[in-house]
Chains A and B, each alone.
Chain A
Amino acid sequence: MGMTMTQKILARAAGVDSCKAGDLLMCRLNLVLGNDITAPVAINEFERMGATIVFDPARIALIPDHFVPNKDIKSATMAKQMRDFARAQKIVHYYEVGRVGIEHALLPEKGIVAPGEVIIGADSHTCTYGAVGAFSTGVGSTDMAVGMATGECWFKVPEAIRVVLKGKMKPYVSGKDVILHLIGQIGVDGALYQSLEFCGEGVASISMDGRLTIANMAIEAGAKNGIFPVDDVCRAYLKDRVTRPWEAFEPDADAVYAREVEIDLDQLELTVALPHLPENTRLARECTDMTIDQAVIGSCTNGRIEDMRMAARILKGHKVAENVRCIVIPGTQQVVKDCLAEGLVDIFIDAGAIFTMPTCGPCLGGFCGVLAEGERAVSTTNRNFVGRMGHKKSEIILASPAVAAASAIMGRIATPEEVMA
């Protein structure tokens, strides 16, 4: 019986010739990831387990991004615990404030993740690295602790949904619209315990930044992972980033899929997800009566350079509506530098937006843009759950950078066409 991409990767990591959905495998890990919220819990567990040294200091990434630069004394204490551990264990991929970025923007950018690798992270959006053909999935802190101690993790081999992408996206339509549309179609538990495997001729027209956005939100459909084939676009992206050898896996021709979903990119329109679930999707043009108080452009979903360019393209020569706070958050220091070099920062500031440092910040209601009772934000982040960005009576509408920027200008949900006339 043929295997899916994910199944092939897991089989190799477990040292077996083949596997099928439902099998239990103990896999070797290429990377174990944690952040300033989840790693402290894992470090405590690591110590309680009696572990003293990590399995490989070069295969652990500890990324302070959620509440840093430290937002309060308690979060400073947690960040310090992770920093002390990283120093004591000589963790190679520990990046300090000033060099760090949002974990899922930083790791692909620095070539720390590669095709065919098996990666666990104590952060649900670890699934982002499927964009480069890796198997990566979110776990809890205990699994992270075990991973750091042993370099292994058990997995139940998932079945997969085959997502066939056809055609080519229209101007302003992006990866965010693809994934919101898909989640709207299959629901927030539509891929529970399954992989989402993207394929089809439409893949070629989607940039790496777009693929990273799509894989990032696989978890929002309940998926264990989301994965793309490694094509020329991907190879070009990896060329100067990954120097170690890697192996790409293609699904077998007779691979068995749980089901198939087709998305016609030609027909795809700008999509938003209304409060309070990512599956609550509508076309952006149907929601133009919804006013907003804040627009957030950034996060591990949409904080890459292409997202910044798109936002700047829309905001250029316009002003953010008087009653709107527009907060632009680049994903990494490299994205900050690129924004400066390309003159995007001037565009943001002239439009009346704030351009901040790379952090998760408001995405999880941490700081730097928390919502008050009754406020509504349009946001390029990935979750619009109750209270996610602040008060439990605040609302989040998920959208692409293009829609978020247009909405910031109009003070309500808007499409780029409305401002780019």
Chain B
Amino acid sequence: MKVTSKVIKYGDHVDTDVIIPARYLNTADPAELATHCMEDLDTDFKAKAETAKIVVAGRNFGCGSSREHAPIAIKASGIRLVIADSFARIFYRNSIDIGLPIVECPAAAAAIRDGDEVEADLDKGIILDRTTGQQFEATPFPAFIEEIIACGGIEEFVRAKISGKKA
């Protein structure tokens, strides 16, 4: 899987309360959640996400509440990849489960700047900053995550298991 796009850059500890504030959690509709994504952190996020499809952030991205609404809102905003120095573990799990590609790569997270044009090849684990010409190697996904992704997400994975049982 390849993603090439302009980058929106954020700092450390971007928490799920700013990704999608709890005042909007009275709905589970992805499109509606997307309209409020990041609004307490960056009021221009929606406009930026029209053209930029990659978010790059610092340490502990997605910390705080376990709300799956957070990766759902990011995905529904059109973001196709999040690169960070590190992710909070529940957010990491949720993203994989719902099929939002996320990559841990401290070097890339430090060097890539807001607005840079980035090309990421997730199969090879290579991230290229076209603006600066710098190239980074990303931590490859562990085997079990590849398996879930190969099934098209955990929902598909379990559906296959359940229908297998019934048959």
What is A's interface to B at a CB cutoff of 8 Å?
Answer: 24, 37-38, 40-41, 44-45, 48-51, 66-67, 71-72, 74-75, 78, 121-124, 126, 138-143, 145-146, 149-150, 154, 156, 188-189, 192-193, 219, 222, 224, 277, 364-366, 370, 383, 385-388, 392
* Contact flag A72-B65 (CB < 8 Å), given A24-B144, A222-B89: no
CB of B117 within 8 Å of the partner chain? no
In the bound complex, CA of A218 to CA of B69 (Å): 22
A189 touches B13 (CB 8 A): yes
Docked complex: B121-167 residues within 8 A CB-CB of A? 142, 144, 154-155, 158-159, 161-163
Closest to B43 in A: A392
Taking the nearest CB of chain A, how far is it from the CB of B58, in angstroms?
10
In the bound complex, CA of A272 to CA of B93 (Å): 31
A149 touches B158 (CB 8 A): yes
Neighbour of A364 across the interface among B13, B59, B65, B163, CB < 8 A:
B65
In the bound complex, CA of A219 to CA of B60 (Å): 12
Closest to B59 in A: A189
In the bound complex, CA of A251 to CA of B70 (Å): 36
Interface size class of B (residues with CB under 8 A): 35 or more
What is B's interface to A at a CB cutoff of 8 Å?
Answer: 13, 15, 17-18, 21-23, 25-28, 40-41, 59-60, 63-69, 71, 86, 88-90, 93-94, 97-98, 142, 144, 154-155, 158-159, 161-163
Closest to A24 in B: B144
Residues on B with C-beta less than 8 A from A365 are: 21-23
* Contact flag A189-B88 (CB < 8 Å), given A74-B26, A149-B162: yes
Could you pull out 8 A-B pairs where Cβ atoms are within 8 angstroms?
A48-B159, A67-B26, A71-B26, A122-B68, A139-B94, A140-B90, A383-B65, A387-B18
In the bound complex, CA of A78 to CA of B97 (Å): 22
Taking the nearest CB of chain B, how far is it from the CB of A299, in angstroms?
13
A150 touches B28 (CB 8 A): no
Taking the nearest CB of chain A, how far is it from the CB of B77, in angstroms?
17
Closest to A158 in B: B89
Closest to A43 in B: B28
In the bound complex, CA of A392 to CA of B41 (Å): 9
Neighbour of A48 across the interface among B68, B142, B155, CB < 8 A:
B155
Residue with the highest number of chain B CB atoms closer than 10 Å, among A40, A142, A224: A142
Residues on A with C-beta less than 8 A from B142 are: 24, 156
Residues on B with C-beta less than 8 A from A41 are: 28, 68-69
Neighbour of B93 across the interface among A48, A75, A143, A388, CB < 8 A:
A143
Neighbour of B60 across the interface among A48, A75, A192, A387, CB < 8 A:
A192
Residue with the highest number of chain A CB atoms closer than 10 Å, among B59, B64, B154, B158: B158
B66 touches A383 (CB 8 A): no
Neighbour of B41 across the interface among A74, A126, A149, A386, CB < 8 A:
A386
Taking the nearest CB of chain B, how far is it from the CB of A341, in angstroms?
33
Residues on B with C-beta less than 8 A from A139 are: 66, 90, 93-94
A-B residue pairs, 3 tightest by C-beta: A140-B94, A74-B26, A140-B68
Residues on B with C-beta less than 8 A from A40 are: 28
B97 touches A140 (CB 8 A): yes
* Contact flag A222-B64 (CB < 8 Å), given A192-B88, A385-B18: no
B97 touches A142 (CB 8 A): yes
B60 touches A142 (CB 8 A): no
A150 touches B161 (CB 8 A): yes
Neighbour of A383 across the interface among B17, B26, B93, B144, CB < 8 A:
B17
Closest to B71 in A: A140
